Amino acid sequence: MNINNPTANQDTHFFGDVCKNFDHAAQFTKHDAGLLDQIKSCNSVYRFRFPIRKGNGFEVIDAWRVEHSHHQSPTKGGIRYSEMVNEDEVMALAALMTYKCAIVNVPFGGAKGGIKINPKNYTVGELENITRRYTVELIKKNFIGPSIDVPAPDYGSGEREMSWIADTYATMNPGQLDALGAVTGKPIALHGIAGRREATGRGVAIAVRECVGVAEDMQKIGLTSGLSGKKVIVQGLGNVGYYSAKFLSEFGALIVGICEFEGAVYNEDGLDVEALFQHRKATGSVLGYAGAKQEFKNTMDGLEQPCDILVPAALENQITVENIRNIKAKIIAEGANGPTSPEAEAIFYQNGGMIIPDMYANAGGVTVSYFEWLKNLSHVAFGRINRRFEENSNLNLVNMVEGITGVALTPIQRSTIIKGASELELVNSGLEDTMIRSYHEIREIYKNNPKVETLRNAAMVGAINKIAVSYMNLGVWP
């Protein structure tokens, strides 16, 4: 039981699992115990309750905001709307955000928020009241601000909720020039950034592509290199799962299974992700989709079907000692936070598998949130200042080449070469570069230290070392 929340009835060991991974990786570093304890600990844990009007009465809402690390400012992390939220989970997710930001070289400390509700049980007006009151509570305690702590969407929240937060913060801080930088994941109309919605899923797909592109590593687990023809099962058809499946398919993979809470569908010859998504949107279920050859009312059965790559992109603790031996995938790419228990991971590696850890695999969201934050601070969209200059420079170059060679390009060729980069193209380019560089940083640690048994350990070792350098450079005051 969570002693800080006696009403919580779910297991509270997620933060403990994160700390186990930290402790295991820390033994491969050379930092003293006090510094390691500082890195591992949650710096600030704020639990609060507030009332809302519900019908003719009141309802009291439980909520949290955790700032795990202040080695970089601001702290950064999403807000989860779920009746399963508890303090242990929010602390764990905040810690993962710290390590995630370090792994992909994004200069934020980790944070996370949670509101203990099922959004389906509330009207839009009630959800707005809850979100705005939550924001005011954070403002009162100085737990939000563009240079303090910057929330973002998470499970159960999205652009709508981030708009309410942005408006509430700006209203409570009149005249603050950078007020919209207090939250990311906003819609484009409210100074969000192109590519943010699909960023986490795109990042997962790039992570998988980089992993399977290393022939040496694939040979060890019995796979050929490259994504072409690889069979993939995705758990979750929400934002992360849908875009992971979409981009993996575009990169050449075959999506053979989709699992959702109401059940799972499977077709060894491949599923049309977009058609399945529209079917679920129309019917409320993946079941009954005409393109499926097999259906499973128990969604967990869907995870155990034949495939090369499994992408759990739903909630934590989905792959455990109870089902890991039934998983037929050779690679697990963690689109969700904490979907694989430490015990299950050990068994999976012993059986010749490989896990692309959540701390890296789903870091696309915070990477593009960083870009959005930079956009809000600079008050100009990426590409707006230099795009036309680039196009004119490219045009001059094309004209010169045509004049020298005497060969005229077709209009399509000319437009392709001349075109300057849009904000979306720049964002996707920055995301891709970040995911590629970070994967090979992790792999170098994994490859060069035989005692580091997993990519997760390697990612954590790298994160600890980067955070330690920040803390040592900052010193201790007073």
Known catalytic residues? 112
> Is the distance from CB of 109 to CB of 80 less than 8 angstroms?
no
Query: What is the H or E stretch that residue 58 is in?
Result: strand 57-67
CA distance to 297, 391, 395, 396, 402, per residue, from 408 (Å): 60, 18, 13, 14, 6
Residues with Cβ within 8 Å of residue 37, at least 6 apart in sequence: none
Residue whose C-alpha is closest to residue 211's, from 365, 442, 474: 442
Q: Was 369 annotated as part of a binding site? A: yes
CA distance to 35, 118, 155, per residue, from 84 (Å): 33, 8, 11
Three-class SS of residue 300? helix
- Beta-carbon count within 10 A of 29 CB: 16
Q: Was 337 annotated as part of a binding site? A: no
Residues with Cβ within 8 Å of residue 394, at least 6 apart in sequence: 417, 418, 419, 420
Alpha helices (H) in 327-422, listed in sequence order = 342-350, 358-361, 364-378, 387-405, 411-418
Give the C-alpha separation, 110 to 102, whole Å: 9
298 phi and psi angles, rounded to 5 deg: -90, 110
Q: Was 200 annotated as part of a binding site? A: yes
Binding site membership: which residues?
Answer: 76, 100, 200, 239, 369
Binding site membership for NAD(+): which residues?
Answer: 200, 239
Binding site membership for substrate: which residues?
Answer: 76, 100, 369
